[in-house]
Amino acid sequence: MDQQLDADAIAALLARDRAHAWHPYASMTSPPPAYPVVAARGVRLQLADGRELIDGMASWWAAIHGYNHPLLNAAAQAQLDNMAHVMFGGITHPAAAELCELLAEIVPGRLPHVFLCDSGSVAVEVGIKMALQYHLSQGNRDRKRLLALRGGYHGDTFMAMSVCDPVTGMHHLFRGALPEQLFAPRPEAPFAARADDAAVAADVARFEAALAAHAHELAAVILEPVVQGAGGMHFYSPAFLAAVRARCDAHGVLLIADEIATGFGRTGRLFACEHAGIAPDILCLGKALTGGYMSLAATLASERVSRGICEGEAGVLMHGPTFMGNPLACALAIASIRLLLSQPWQRRIETLEQGLRAGLAGAAALPGVREVRVLGGIGVVEMKAPVEMARIQRLLVERGVWIRPFGKLVYTMPPYIMQPDDLAALTGGIVDTLQQLETGETG
């Protein structure tokens, strides 16, 4: 994995990047440092100057098998030899049919109808559109709003933004343009809390109050099961999730589960809904779907939802992305899912969880740390104050570690294949960096 560039080539690459490439959540007038990666294999990223970093982000939680996996590479090549793309309107192909069947087989409950789309945000848009169109088709024209949980994150497109947390999200920037949704308090009972726990009962009571007050105008409740991801890496009790499912049924409100971050094993179950033993009416998937190789997402619906839409006024779901059902992405998704299921992935997640708990434990004693929490393949150090992104990232890279903190959260969601020594180096680099920041050393 030696693709090292000389100093002049690195300077030219960075100059082109600064001049033209608009990175996510970044300024073009004062762009933050960008680290040039020229190759990736296993759990390592190779920088242009020859340094290697242990990747603790799995490319925003997607590259669960690591990089350059021979089985996934072979699947991509085999599909390329046939076709990279063909439109999905009026045409089908083997990879799409097989993927849809496979997803319907492995998800919780019975969600037999699969809409393939481009990204997680689009999967959420489609899920919300399904819920709205379902109620319109049933003659429930007043049910046009969503109830979400505070602290949630569901994507950056407009309808997805509208159900993100109204304080930590982007509502204030787009006030007046975003649809106005409703929000229930974030559940506070921790992951281990049982249904008879007083904290769970309090969470359920607050949710029930919000739901009951607005059920007549609600198309759906949307939430991230058990783990709220980019909204704060917050873990909550599966008992609360089970209660939400029951309350939605009682009020005739659909439940949309956003498993874009949690799907495909990240929390220790194949899907986070399984912790509560429930199934949603609509399920959104993405990120790890292709093992991090290509952008692909899916929105799955129950028979009730799909029949309700298709027997309504329009007779069809009103959505159709150009690259829907891309054959190359579908082939990679099939290969990634079958690779995951063929391996002892649950044991790997348990090993990751143990290593994350042991490796991050030392951060808990640091004065600036509010809490350390771990669930499955997710390790989080929550600080008392926001971190200085450019500085902490530089210190981490100097230690051979790649993660992407945000706000007060220094967290890792590594590839499932990470071995104990690399995990120890990753967590050790995180703790050492936080300790250096606490002491004020410049490094």
Q: Which amino acid is at 111?
A: L
Look at residues 264, 214, 68, 236 and name the one whose alpha carbon lies nearest to residue 152: 236
**List 118, 287, 293, 411, catalytic entry:** 287
Look at residues 357, 411, 28, 100 and name the one whose alpha carbon lies nearest to residue 233: 411
CA distances (Å), origin 368, targets 68, 244, 356, 371: 38, 35, 19, 9
How many whole angstroms separate alpha carbon 270 and alpha carbon 135? 30
**287 belongs to the catalytic site:** yes
**293 belongs to the catalytic site:** no
**List 258, 293, 411, 422, catalytic entry:** 258
**25 belongs to the catalytic site:** yes
CA dihedral 196, 246, 281, 112 (to 10 degrees): 80
**List 2, 8, 25, 196, catalytic entry:** 25
Look at residues 226, 233, 232, 231 and name the one whose alpha carbon lies nearest to residue 259: 226
Task: Say if CB 184 and CB 207 are below 8 A apart.
Answer: yes
**List 67, 134, 153, 411, catalytic entry:** 153
**Which strands make up the sheet holding 37-41, listed edge to edge?**
37-41, 44-47, 52-55, 401-402
**258 belongs to the catalytic site:** yes
R_g of the chain, CA atoms, integer Å: 22
- Residue 359's Cβ-side half-sphere holds a number of Cα atoms within 13 Å equal to 26
How many whole angstroms separate alpha carbon 388 and alpha carbon 438? 12
Catalytic residues: 25, 153, 258, 287
